[in-house]
């Protein structure tokens, strides 16, 4: 029976190959998409097996749970990314523990993160989260209507001016679909929003697009994702809580 680590390695390498194939179909530079393996709610044994399998980036959703893992699991050379919504009162946990935050979703949170990053003596790389699906259950700046993108600029510019944050690009979480194709228009919209922001606020770095999960990451890569967030397809389903 294969070990947990070898099983994860097989699925990890298969996912990397699917990403490479999607890059090739889209005419993109090979290796231009990074794979974030989502380990939220996974036990320590799964995370250790993923690291042993060669996983380079781990994505977590819950700050307190993630920091506990980061402090207790040796992971030299592995990046930890915060990909979930962060409440303002937990912002102090982010700057000192994560190499990238995907889910900066408000000016209020940006100011809190900036303060704590300054206190920690670091500059925190962040992605700005946009709600391109107009879903009330999703976080992020509302960006469904292209006609209202101009209204976003003053607030985004204020985020860019925060000294201890380094904006690197955008992130979105589209509506969930059973198949990848219905998600494609949302990925395309985020790419178009990125191009709009790059033209409107050209002094910032807009190079990263975090989009795509286990259900639709190939479509996301074809539409320009530079980071895809894949969990269950690599490490299996999260254990159910009793």
What are the tens digits of pLDDT across the range 5-37?
999 999 999 999 999 999 999 999 999 999 999
Q: Around Cβ 121, how many Cβ atoms within 10 Å?
A: 9
d(CA 180, CA 214) in angstroms, rounded, equals: 9
Output the six-digit token pair for 19.
């990403």
Q: Output the tens digit of pLDDT for each of the chain's 242 residues.
A: 679 999 999 999 999 999 999 999 999 999 999 999 999 999 999 999 999 999 999 999 999 999 999 999 989 899 999 999 999 999 999 999 999 999 999 999 999 999 999 999 999 999 999 999 877 878 999 999 999 999 999 999 999 999 999 999 999 999 888 889 999 999 999 999 999 999 999 999 999 999 999 999 999 999 999 999 999 999 988 775 54
Q: Which residues pair with 81 in a beta bridge?
A: 59, 100
d(CA 174, CA 237) in angstroms, rounded, equals: 20
Question: All domains of the chain, ordered by start, with CATH?
Answer: 4-231 (3.20.20.10)
Specify the pTM.
Answer: 0.95
CA angle 120, 121, 123 (to 5 degrees): 100
Look-up of token digits 């509302």: 142
């Amino acid at each position: 029976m294969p070990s947990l680590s070898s099983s994860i390695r097989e699925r990890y390498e298969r996912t990397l190959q699917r990403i490479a194939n999607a890059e090739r179909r889209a005419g993109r530079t090979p290796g231009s998409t990074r794979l974030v393996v989502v380990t939220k709610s996974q036990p320590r044994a799964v995370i250790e097996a993923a690291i042993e399998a060669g996983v380079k980036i781990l994505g977590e959703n819950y700050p307190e749970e993630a920091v506990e893992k980061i402090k207790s699991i040796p992971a030299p050379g592995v990046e930890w990314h915060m990909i979930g919504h962060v409440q303002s009162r937990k912002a102090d946990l982010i700057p000192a523990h994560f190499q990238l935050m995907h889910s900066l979703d408000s000016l209020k949170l940006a100011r809190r993160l900036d303060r704590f990053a300054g206190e920690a003596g670091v500059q925190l790389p962040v992605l700005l989260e946009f709600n391109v699906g107009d879903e009330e259950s999703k976080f992020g700046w509302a960006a469904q209507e292209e006609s209202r993108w101009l209204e976003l600029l003053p607030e985004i510019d204020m985020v860019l001016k925060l000294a201890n944050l380094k904006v690197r690009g955008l992130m979105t979480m589209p509506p969930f679909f059973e198949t990848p194709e219905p998600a494609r228009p949302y990925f395309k919209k985020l790419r178009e929003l990125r191009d709009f922001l790059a033209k409107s606020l050209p002094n910032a770095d807009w190079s990263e697009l975090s989009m795509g999960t286990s259900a639709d990451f190939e479509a996301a890569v074809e539409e320009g994702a530079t980071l895809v967030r894949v969990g269950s397809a690599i490490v299996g389903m999260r254990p159910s809580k009793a």
